[in-house]
Amino acid sequence: MTNFLKLSTYLFLCLSFFACSKDDPQPVPALSRTEAALKYDEDVQFRVPNFSNVTWSSSDEFVGTVDESGKFTAHHVGEAKITATVDGQTLTATVVVEPYVTGIVEPYLNFGGSVQSIMEYEKREYLEDISTVYTVFRGQGDLEKYVGYLTAQGIMVSANIEFIFNLNVIQNVMLFYKERYNYLGKGYNDRDYFESKDGSYRVFISGGDNAYYTQDPFLASTIIEEVNVPW
């Protein structure tokens, strides 16, 4: 009788174990967060709890990159989708890289545009045409002094912003461009050079209080060797 009870108890425990194991829910892949907001010099960690074999990617590596551990490192202002592929499923999160500096309105950057199109686009106060090729507007906000457009044969070839000259403004100007453009380096003339996301134009900062926009590679040729840019 004792052996029979022991056997019955053993069988009952075995059946109970297998029944419970069969009913135990399997973990479902889910991101530790589905959105994040940060600055261009910050990072944020994404995870898929209970899963280790995860493949990560960023929809816009100009905005930021994500490594194999799920850490997203921001690079520039913008929005990117983070994708985690795990266990046959695709999970996504949205990352917004927000700016530190918002008080600058960039010029009309339609190189090749007519003078008339510049006049129609600009919301700043028109001041004067200093010459037949240079049109000037009063800067807006607390950082800008003047905005000018250089034209040749009636079409825009470059633009510039002259900023109010003080240390705080200079620091904000550099920060504004660093968080929006690829920083190429500093030339021997102490100018700081930047390139747009698509590489279609460059910006150089002269004296800390002037930003020049151009498609002419000659203006940035002083740093070709320094930053190894094939212009």
Q: Of 119, 113, 110, whose CA–CA distance to 201 is shortest?
A: 110
Range of weakest confidence among 76-90, 105-119, 123-137: 123-137
Rounded mean pLDDT of 12-29? 61
Q: How many CA atoms lie within 13 A of 203 on its CB side?
A: 26
Q: Quick one: pLDDT at residue 128?
A: 81
- Would the pLDDT of 56 be above 80? yes
CA dist., res. 164 & res. 144, Å (int): 6
Average pLDDT, the chain: 87
CATH class of the domain at 1-98: mainly beta
More reliable by pLDDT, 11 or 143 = 143
The pair phi, psi for residue 163, each rounded to 5°, is -100, 160
Rounded mean pLDDT of 143-170? 95
Give residue 224's pLDDT band: very low, low, confident or very high (50, 70, 90): very low
Please report, rounded to a whole number, the percentage of residues in the chain having pLDDT higher than 70.
Answer: 83
Model's pTM, two decimal places? 0.81
More reliable by pLDDT, 223 or 157 = 157
Q: With contact defined as beta carbons under 8 Å apart, do 149 and 108 qualify?
A: yes
Q: What is the 3-state secondary structure (H, E, C) of 30-94?
A: CCCCCEEEECCCCEEECCCCCCCCCEEEECCCCCEEECCCCEEEECCCEEEEEEEEECCEEEEEE
Rounded mean pLDDT of 12-16? 51
Domain borders along the chain are 1-98, 115-227
Rounded mean pLDDT of 167-172? 94
CA dist., res. 38 & res. 21, Å (int): 43
Rounded mean pLDDT of 149-171? 94
Q: Quick one: pLDDT at residue 2?
A: 58
